[in-house]
Structures are given as C-alpha cells and as structure tokens.
Amino acid sequence: MAKMFEQATDRAGGASRFRSSTGVEAGQGQAQSVLNLRFEAGPSRKDILHFTNQLAVMIKAGISLQDSLESIAMNVKKEKFRTIILDLKTRIEAGESFSQALGEHRDIFSNLYINMVAAAEISGSLSGMLNQLAGYLDQEAETRSQVVGAMVYPAIIMLMAVTTTLFLLVFVLPRFLAIFAGKEHLLPGPTKMIMALSAFMRGYWFILLPAVVGLAWLAWFLTRSGAGQLWWHKTKLRIPLLSTLCRSLYITRSMHTMGVLTNAGVPILDTIMITSQISGNVLFENMWKGVHEAVRQGKKIASSLYSYDLMPGSAVQMIQSGEESGTLSEVLRDISAFYERELKTVIKMVTSMIEPIMIVLMGIMVGFIAMSVILPIFRMSSLVTS
C-alpha cells in the first residue's frame, strides 16, 4: 500500500510539474502572440474590400452571419485582422447587432461602413448593402489609385532633376572648376555662385543631410494638425493645376459618399456628418459641418451650401432641385457619377500639363549649371585672343 501511495505521489508530482511547465510555456506563447498582434500591421483597404465581398457572397448564399465570419477568419493571413473578425463573431453570438460589433473597431471600420450596415439591419437587406459597400470601397480605391498615378511621373521627374543637379554640383563641377583656380576675379556672377554652392555642399554634406531630413519631418508634422494643416489645405486649393485636381477630388468624394448613404437609407444628418469626416480637406470638412448644423435647425442643404464658395453652383442647383422634388438620393447619385467622370478628365489634363512643366524646369536647372561652366571659358578665350 505504501509503495502504491509513493507511485501515485510521484505521478501526481510529475503531472503537476508538467502542468506548471506547460502553463509557463503557454503563458509565454500567449504573451508573444499579444506582442506580435501589437506590432503587426492592421488590415489594408484591400483587405477590408476583400472581406466585404466575401461576406456579401456568403450572406446571399444563405450562410448565417456567424458562420460566414468564422469561415472568412480561417482564411485570413493577418493574425490581427483574424482576431478582429472572430471578435465580431463572438459579440454577435453574445447578442450584439453586426453594426454594434463593428462599432467596437472604429479604427478599422469607418463610420460610413458602420452606418450603412446599421441601415441594412433595419431594412433587412444586408447582402445587398454589403455589395454597395464593396462597390463604394472599390470606387474609392480606384480614385485614390488614379490620383497617386497622376503624381508618380512628376515625382520621378523631380527626383531625377534633384539627383542630376546634386551629381553635377558635387562630382562633376569640381573637376571643371579646378582650371579656374586663381582666376576668380575673372569669373561671372553665376559661376561664382555655383562654385560657392558646390564647395558648401562638398564641405558640409554631413550637416545638410540631417537638416533636409529634419525639415521634411517638420513640414510633415506641421501640416498634420492645427494651423499648419489649415494653411496647407488652403494652399492646395490655390496652387494652379493642383487646386483643380484637389477640388475635383474633394467634390467627387463628397458627392459619392452622400449618394451612397442616402440610397442606403441613412438619415440625412448622419449622412452629412459622415461626409464631413471623409472629405479629406479641413475647409470642406468645416463646410459640411456648417451644413449639418443648418440642416439640424431646419434649413435645406442647397441653401446652406450657397453660403460657401467650395461647391460648384451647378451642383448646388441640382441638389436644390432634388430636395424640392423629393428625389435627392437619385440626384446625388447622378451628381456623383458626373463628377467621377469629371475627375478622370481632370487627372488626364493635369498630368498632361505637369509633364512638360517639370521637363522645362529640369532643363532650366541643368542649363544654368552648364552656362555657369561655359561662360568663363568663353570669357578667358576672348581675353587670350585679344
């Protein structure tokens, strides 16, 4: 009996030690998992679009919302996004609505997304609303891609111009300008300026490099909030060409958002407030917030928009006719489609005009440097012949 007790005690001790070590390993694994989730990138716009499309198809096929979310989560590669989707499933099983569950992750799902799902829950058309959401997200991604694409070529030209100028100043010019040593009094003003700039860049590059990086960071920081952001957003609406592109983008985004939300049955006050949040410009955001306050007090959208000079008169007139005829959602949809086509036209026009301008500027910079080297050579040769 004593021997059996000792064996049982040994087994219990071994099991206890096993549970202890397993618990420590599990705790370490859980801590590592939490750490990985904290530093892992969240879902991108493409991930949200893919999730919405999948969910719309599954709901339309008759699969329950909980099963759909679980199935999608199992195929998501990003651990952080998988955790969020499973949390949505858990909250729905606990009795929350889908929109309430989404509302707990507002850093991932926008107010527009949440409000459209809430409207779908009221009307009972979640699958159709998810399809509309997917279409909206797809259109936004296409618009963003077009605008970014329009800026790529000018950015490449500018980078080439800066790189070429730096190469000439730091590596090429010192070899040519060595022949002018001791004859500085004979050099023209542009050559003296280029020589001084070249010497400064070669002698103080270790100061210039962090200074440029610091100034770039400071500019980025100042234009993200406060008075700096307001100044930059005003400037974008005043610079030639850029103002045309930005204004068309903000109007298209506003009209598209309002059209989608009103067609989804979202209340007009919520529609206007969400539109202000996604406008992308402080001036447009303040305009829509002012319209929201005016509509809350009983005024019409069109009459409120007339107080601002950001929206085209033709668009405001169309909104006014939609309010008077009771077909505002259809009118907003038509305006949205019109300005989407207009934005594509503006992007092509701006791109076609920016390209030659950047090439000319690059030619001027390189030509000025070449002239600064050639002028003293001609001057010295004329002095020799005379």
Give percent of the chain above pLDDT 90: 20
In a domain, 121, yes or no: yes
| Whether residues 187 and 322 fall in one domain | yes
Judged on CB neighbours under 10 Å (0-12, 13-18, 19+), 349 is middle
Of 55, 84, 88, 89, nearest to 72 by C-alpha is 55
| Whether residues 169 and 228 fall in one domain | yes
The single residue listed with the structure tokens 């600064």 is: 372
pLDDT category, 340, cuts 50, 70, 90?
Answer: confident
Choice among 124-128, 198-202, 330-334, 382-386 with the minimum mean pLDDT: 382-386
Three-class DSSP category at 231: helix
| Whether residues 315 and 177 fall in one domain | yes
Helix axes 242-263, 126-167, angle to 10 degrees: 170
pLDDT tens by residue, 144-168? 888 887 778 778 888 888 888 888 8
Beta carbons of 322 and 330 less than 8 angstroms apart: yes
Beta carbons of 324 and 301 less than 8 angstroms apart: no
What pLDDT is recorded for position 54? 92
| Whether residues 167 and 131 fall in one domain | no
What pLDDT is recorded for position 355? 77
| Whether residues 294 and 242 fall in one domain | yes
What pLDDT is recorded for position 12? 41
In a domain, 33, yes or no: no
The single residue listed with the structure tokens 């000319």 is: 360
246: which residues sit within 8 A by CB, 6+ positions away?
236, 237, 281
In a domain, 5, yes or no: no
Domain boundary among 139, 169, 193: 139
Task: Answer with the residue of higher pLDDT: 16 or 205.
Answer: 205
| Whether residues 284 and 383 fall in one domain | yes
Question: H/E element holding 369?
Answer: helix 328-385
What pLDDT is recorded for position 375? 78
In a domain, 223, yes or no: yes
Beta carbons of 302 and 316 less than 8 angstroms apart: yes
Lookup: tokens for 223? 């234009």
Beta carbons of 204 and 253 less than 8 angstroms apart: no
In a domain, 11, yes or no: no
Angle at 112 between CA 109 and CA 117, to 5 degrees: 80
Three-class DSSP category at 237: coil
The C-alpha atoms of residue 269 and residue 272 are separated, in whole angstroms, by: 5
| Whether residues 92 and 239 fall in one domain | no
pLDDT category, 40, cuts 50, 70, 90?
Answer: low
Domain interval for residue 71: 45-139
The C-alpha atoms of residue 168 and residue 196 are separated, in whole angstroms, by: 14
Is the model's pLDDT at 73 over the cut of 80? Answer: yes
Q: What share of the chain is helix, strand, coil (3-state, %, to 5)?
A: 85, 0, 15
In a domain, 371, yes or no: yes
Domain boundary among 116, 139, 162: 139
Of 272, 262, 264, nearest to 302 by C-alpha is 272
Total number of domains constituting the chain = 2
The C-alpha atoms of residue 241 and residue 261 are separated, in whole angstroms, by: 31
| Whether residues 241 and 172 fall in one domain | yes
Is the model's pLDDT at 94 over the cut of 60? Answer: yes
Domain boundary among 139, 166, 185: 139
In a domain, 13, yes or no: no
The CATH number of whichever domain residue 369 belongs to comes to: 1.20.81.30
What pLDDT is recorded for position 72? 92
What pLDDT is recorded for position 87? 93
| Whether residues 286 and 235 fall in one domain | yes
| Whether residues 237 and 168 fall in one domain | yes
What pLDDT is recorded for position 140? 83
pLDDT category, 383, cuts 50, 70, 90?
Answer: low
pLDDT tens by residue, 297-328? 999 999 999 988 888 888 899 999 999 888 88
Task: Look up the pTM and report it.
Answer: 0.72
| Whether residues 181 and 251 fall in one domain | yes
Is the model's pLDDT at 90 over the cut of 90? Answer: yes
What pLDDT is recorded for position 30? 41
Beta carbons of 91 and 101 less than 8 angstroms apart: yes
Task: Answer with the residue of higher pLDDT: 5 or 97.
Answer: 97
In a domain, 15, yes or no: no
SS (H, E, C) 105-123: CCCCCCHHHHHHHHHHHHH
Residue 386 CA, chain-centre distance (Å), reads 64
pLDDT tens by residue, 354-381? 778 888 888 888 888 888 777 777 766 6
Of 38, 105, 37, 36, nearest to 69 by C-alpha is 105
Average pLDDT score over the chain: 81
Is the model's pLDDT at 289 over the cut of 90? Answer: yes
What pLDDT is recorded for position 384? 53
The C-alpha atoms of residue 375 and residue 386 are separated, in whole angstroms, by: 17
Lookup: tokens for 48? 């949200």
Mean pLDDT of 247-263: 87
Mean pLDDT of 284-303: 93
DSSP state of 310: S
What pLDDT is recorded for position 144? 82
Longest dimension (CA), the chain: 126
| Whether residues 245 and 314 fall in one domain | yes
